[in-house]
Amino acid sequence: MAEIERHVRLFRNGRNQALRIPREFELEGEEAIVRKDGDRLIIEPVRKGRLLALLSTLDTLDEPFPDVDEDLAPLDDIDL
């Protein structure tokens, strides 16, 4: 996939630096995460609820869940 570039201008919005995101770079939703990597800014949309939607499509497990506390001492026997 070819990388798309577009020249944009930076401006001030109160005490913040801002830029207008061109239509071809629009992000879904109303929130994004900004991360700095060297002199690059990486902007990613916040995708809410996608994990729950994915989990709801999975089949239920027929096998019992293992007892992860099996080899641990009872809580009353632990000295703090």
What does the pLDDT look like over 23-64, one tens digit per residue? 999 998 889 999 999 999 999 998 887 788 888 899 988 888
pLDDT at res. 15: 96
Q: What is the largest CA-CA distance in the chain?
A: 66
- Alpha-carbon distance of 60 to 33, in angstroms, equals 33
Reported confidence tier of residue 75, pLDDT bands at 50, 70, 90 = confident
Domain segments of the chain as ranges: 30-54
pLDDT at res. 42: 94
- Alpha-carbon distance of 29 to 48, in angstroms, equals 9
pLDDT at res. 55: 86
CB 24 within 8 A of CB 4: yes
pTM: 0.52
Locus of tokens 């930076």: 10
77 pLDDT above the threshold of 70: no
- Alpha-carbon distance of 80 to 71, in angstroms, equals 19
